[in-house]
């Protein structure tokens, strides 16, 4: 008998969206069950019904063979089902221990026993190998630890089945590894894990079985050891996904971006970008590899005008671009796909059409004698939706209504259509689904082949190795290696540079 079973689940939201269409699946005691599917496939909706945040329009859920109606999270917790959401739900100004103990025993009036909360947290953390600092405030700890707090909170409430909704979307590769170690130890202690993701390598690494969803339906459930990434990708997208980019050899052209001895120090005087020099040429993608937090973000922020350097310079086509703000950088034909698209990439409430011209509304053809030509804006919106395969019924819809992948396509469309010389792409496919990743990768390579100079930063080493013509490794704010990309470049070799265990000489670095 399966531990949990869902039978013919249908969910139609009040606005008419059919998010789950007749879904049946089962979970076995002690397994790690991955649920995969592109953004909008209906994964979170299905999980919310298991956790009592939504109720099915029709269908039945059974637990250990018994029909149950899970109409509130409280009920789910009583039944031993816990869930960690995509967006954490912790109280920022409280400590780790307070968050974990909070609300478990709702004795109104009685103060929380802090000492006991701390002790319970310590014990729980040790039992499950989930390391946290009980006395730290939530707003002072890294994302990976916040997630462990959420997991411990669910375990403290007696969760036997733990649902993790895209837990790795916010994690660095190191944090992801730590999470997987913790998941394995949870299973050893008898827990059952449901794990949502759209990263197939993670599925292959951690799960026992996989259920694939597409367009509100279940495509199938397979044993992980009997499947492969290409097969899962095909099930998810509904067509063959090649995940290889067509990248013709091309000779690099003139230098476009020249960075010379660039330094950026924070208020405390620490050099986060430390005497960095490199060049990006026409017809090439220079990929920056490195463990996150080694100066990549600060380097990009300086180059895009968001921060002022403390030393050195950067030239685009021979003209200095730094220290004059983002608009000046753009006027020098530098475009930017920002790392955090929600805060820097789009105006969520603005329409798709408006977001596509947000950087150029004040110029022809959109501005005519000081007025915005709405016809031109709408026409451009419709063109871009078509050209970039943005899944949206109309360009007048708010960008915020799109899935992550489609939002990213809006940004890519906008940045590509401004005839740039240099594109700075930071984590261009983070949180984006496979179909869109394939598309964005191919677009980046096509633009490079046409002559664009591209500086690519990604925490995904596979992505950098797949796309880049040359690789540059940053460690501790410094450039420690620059090498041509090729079959002899391996993750292991890059890893040595990334962790600071190896470093090129100045001659080696200058040679490529
Ligand atoms: N509360 C809601 N009201 C209306 N529609 C929703 C709601 N939540 C999700 N949807 C829609 O349901 C579909 C499935 O969403 P979701 O379950 O979040 O997918 P996934 O987690 O696979 O990305 C999407 O089209 C989404 O826009
Ligand atoms: Mg979701």
Number of the ligand closest to the Cα of 14: 1
Please enumerate in sequence order all residues whose Cβ is within 8 A of that of 130, keeping only pairs 6 or more positions apart, or say none: 124, 148, 151, 152, 182
Q: Which of 45, 46, 237, 393 to mutate to test the pocket of ligand 1 (most atoms within 8 A of CB)?
A: 45
Q: Residue 106 above 60 pLDDT?
A: no
404 lines ligand 1 (CB under 6 A): no
380 lines ligand 1 (CB under 6 A): no
Render pLDDT for 166-184 as a digit per residue (tens, 0 to 9): 898 777 777 888 899 999 9
Mean pLDDT to the nearest integer, 123-134: 92
Task: State mean pLDDT over 279-295.
Answer: 93
Q: Is 152 helix (H, G, I), strand (E, B) or coil?
A: helix
Q: What span, in angstroms and rounded, lies between the C-alpha atoms of 116 and 127?
A: 16
Buried b (16+ CB within 10 A) or exposed e, 295-326: bbbbbbbbbbbbbebeebebbbbeeebbeeee
Q: What's the pTM? A: 0.68
CB-ligand 1 contact for 37 (6 Å cutoff) = yes
Ligand 1 pocket, residue 409 CB under 6 Å: no
> Which CATH topology does 4-237 take?
Rossmann fold (3.40.50)
Pairing of strands 470-475, 478-484: antiparallel
Mutation test of ligand 1: which of 17, 23, 37, 406 has the most ligand atoms closer than 8 Å to its C-beta?
17
In short, whether 214's Cβ falls inside 6 Å of ligand 1 is: no
Residue 172: exposure state from Cβ atoms within 10 A (0-12, 13-18, ≥19): middle
The Å distance, Cα 42 to ligand 1 centre, comes to: 6
To test ligand 1's pocket by mutation, which of 37, 42, 86 has the most ligand atoms within 8 angstroms of CB? 42
CATH topology of domain 255-333+420-510: Rossmann fold (3.40.50)
Ligand 1 atom at minimum distance from 196 CA: 21
- 165: CA distance to ligand 2 center in Å? 7
- The mean pLDDT of 368-389, rounded to a whole number, is 87
Taking the C-alpha atoms of 173, 178, 220 and 40 in order, what is their torsion angle to the nearest 10 degrees? -60
Contact (Cβ atoms closer than 8 angstroms) between residue 139 and residue 146: no
Distance 475 CA to ligand 1 centre (A): 40
Rounded Cα gap, residues 408 and 338, in angstroms: 10
**Bridge-based pairing state of the strands 192-197 and 209-214:** unpaired
Q: How confident is the model at residue 324 (pLDDT cuts 50, 70, 90)?
A: confident
Q: How far away, in angstroms, is 9 Cα from ligand 1 center?
A: 15
Q: Given this model, what pLDDT does residue 343 score?
A: 65
Which segments of the chain belong to CATH 3.40.50.300? 4-237, 255-333+420-510
pLDDT tens per residue across span 9-58: 999 999 899 999 999 999 999 999 999 998 789 999 999 999 999 999 99
């Amino acid at each position: 008998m399966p531990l949990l079973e869902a039978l013919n689940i249908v969910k139609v939201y009040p606005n008419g969206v059919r998010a789950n269409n007749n879904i049946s699946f089962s979970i076995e005691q002690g397994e790690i069950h991955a649920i995969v599917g592109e953004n909008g496939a209906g994964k979170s909706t299905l999980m919310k019904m298991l956790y009592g945040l939504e109720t099915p329009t029709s269908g039945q859920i059974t637990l250990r063979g018994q029909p149950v109606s899970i109409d509130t999270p409280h009920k789910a917790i009583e039944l031993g089902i816990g869930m960690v959401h995509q967006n954490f739900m912790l109280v920022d100004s409280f400590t780790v221990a307070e968050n974990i103990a909070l609300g478990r025993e709702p004795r109104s009036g009685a103060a929380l026993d802090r000492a006991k909360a701390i002790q319970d947290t310590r014990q729980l953390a040790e039992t499950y190998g989930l390391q946290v600092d009980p006395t730290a405030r939530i707003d002072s700890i890294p994302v990976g630890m916040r997630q462990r707090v959420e997991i411990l909170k669910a375990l403290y409430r007696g969760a036997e089945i733990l649902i993790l909704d895209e837990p790795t979307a916010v994690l660095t590769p190191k944090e992801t590894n730590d999470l997987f170690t913790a998941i394995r130890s949870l299973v050893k202690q008898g827990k059952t894990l449901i794990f949502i993701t759209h990263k197939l390598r993670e599925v292959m690494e951690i799960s026992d079985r996989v259920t694939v969803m597409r367009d509100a339906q279940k495509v199938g459930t397979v044993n992980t050891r009997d499947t492969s990434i290409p097969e899962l990708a095909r099930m998810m997208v509904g067509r063959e996904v090649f995940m290889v980019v067509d990248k013709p050899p091309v000779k690099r052209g003139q230098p476009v971006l020249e960075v010379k001895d660039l330094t950026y120090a924070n208020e405390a005087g620490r050099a986060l970008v430390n005497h960095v020099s490199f060049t990006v040429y026409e017809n090439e993608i220079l990929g920056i590899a490195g463990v996150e937090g080694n100066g990549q973000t600060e380097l990009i922020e300086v180059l895009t005008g968001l921060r002022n350097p403390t030393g050195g310079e950067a030239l685009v086509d021979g003209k200095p671009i730094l220290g004059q703000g983002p608009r000046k950088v753009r006027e020098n034909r530098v475009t930017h796909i920002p790392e955090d698209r929600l805060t820097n990439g789009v105006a969520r409430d603005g329409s798709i059409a408006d977001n596509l011209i947000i950087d150029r509304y004040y110029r022809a053809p959109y501005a005519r004698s000081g007025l915005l030509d709405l016809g031109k804006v709408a026409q451009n919106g419709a063109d871009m939706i078509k050209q970039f395969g943005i899944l949206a019924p109309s360009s007048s819809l708010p960008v915020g209504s799109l899935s992550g992948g489609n939002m990213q396509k809006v940004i890519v469309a906008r940045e590509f259509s401004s005839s740039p010389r240099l594109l700075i792409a930071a984590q261009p496919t983070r949180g984006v689904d496979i179909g869109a990743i394939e598309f964005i990768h191919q677009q980046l390579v096509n633009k490079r082949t046409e002559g664009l100079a591209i500086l690519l930063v990604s925490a995904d080493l596979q992505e950098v190795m797949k796309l880049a013509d040359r690789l540059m490794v940053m460690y501790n704010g410094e450039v420690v290696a620059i090498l041509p990309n090729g079959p002899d470049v391996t993750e292991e070799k890059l890893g040595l540079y990334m962790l600071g265990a190896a470093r090129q000489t100045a001659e080696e670095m200058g040679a490529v």
